[in-house]
Chains A and B, each alone.
Chain A
Amino acid sequence: DTGVSQDPRHKITKRGQNVTFRCDPISEHNRLYWYRQTLGQGPEFLTYFQNEAQLEKSRLLSDRFSAERPKGSFSTLEIQRTEQGDSAMYLCASSIISKNTEAFFGQGTRLTVV
């Protein structure tokens, strides 16, 4: 069990470019969550999946954001036409329904839009 893995750990991109982040949850965890954390703030919920179904999306997830979990395993979060306000740490977490455990978080992907 290697924990929740996120890739890349850091990403610097120019405004207007598209970026994609990947999250690999803990094996057999069927719930996967995305959060965003800006400097000096707590994490804010973006969306979550149960297996491959996206069950909840925050209003923070604008049309430029899309998340997928096609096979119920890893997930990707894409941001199109990035803006400076997208600069943040993007956190992924996973949990397993059957054991009703709490979510385990990855170390995050830090995005800087220049």
Chain B
Amino acid sequence: GDSVTQMEGPVTLSEEAFLTINCTYTATGYPSLFWYVQYPGEGLQLLLKATKADDKGSNKGFEATYRKETTSFHLEKGSVQVSDSAVYFCALRNTGFQKLVFGTGTRLLVSP
């Protein structure tokens, strides 16, 4: 079945450091790929998405590129802030289906 694998956390960075959170997927067909973020005490929020190979999703300084050849969708940000501290989930939705398949999440901790 479809699955998503994320790097384990926590990822601990200092403010203004470069961030990469790795995400790879297994799926039949051509899924859409997503990054969701969960801030403390809040619900899941869509951060960015990409619907086809080579698409780049971006939002709030975060970027991720849909790489079909490596089945990856790594999340990057050039300069993290303390306010970026949260849990980040990579997810896919396969063509013709409504359900999202999530990875286990990666906690990001940014210190001043």
Interface centre among B44, B101, B102 (most CB of A within 10 A): B44
Q: Is the CB of B98 within 8 A of A31?
A: yes
Task: Give the number of residue pairs across the A-B interface with Cβ within 8 Å.
Answer: 50
Q: Is the CB of A107 within 8 A of B42?
A: yes
Q: Is A21 an interface residue (CB 8 A)?
A: no
- The size class of the interface chain B forms with chain A is 20 to 34
Q: Is B46 an interface residue (CB 8 A)?
A: yes
Q: Is A85 an interface residue (CB 8 A)?
A: no
Q: Is the CB of B49 within 8 A of A102?
A: yes
Q: Is the CB of A43 within 8 A of B102?
A: yes
**Smallest Cβ distance from B3 to chain A, in angstroms?**
10
User: B95-110, CB under 8 A of A: which get 1 and which 0?
Assistant: 0011111111100000
**Smallest Cβ distance from B38 to chain A, in angstroms?**
9
Q: Taking CB as reference atom, which chain A residue is nearest B6?
A: A42
Interface centre among B100, B102, B103 (most CB of A within 10 A): B100
Q: Which B25-62 residues have C-beta < 8 A from chain A?
A: 34, 36, 41-46, 49
Q: Is the CB of A102 within 8 A of B34?
A: yes
Q: Considering the chains assembled together, what is the distance between the CA atoms of A6 and B91 in angstroms?
A: 22
Q: Considering the chains assembled together, what is the distance between the CA atoms of A10 and B108 in angstroms?
A: 25
Chain B contacts to A: CB under 8 angstroms: 4, 34, 36, 41-46, 49, 89, 91, 97-105
What are 30 A-B residue pairs whose CB atoms fall within 8 Å in the complex?
A: A33-B98, A33-B99, A35-B100, A40-B104, A40-B105, A41-B104, A42-B4, A42-B89, A42-B91, A42-B102, A42-B105, A43-B100, A43-B102, A45-B99, A45-B100, A45-B101, A48-B99, A56-B97, A56-B99, A58-B99, A91-B43, A102-B49, A104-B46, A105-B36, A105-B43, A105-B45, A107-B41, A107-B42, A107-B43, A108-B43
The 8 closest A-B pairs by CB, nearest first: A42-B102, A45-B99, A105-B44, A105-B43, A107-B43, A43-B102, A102-B46, A42-B104
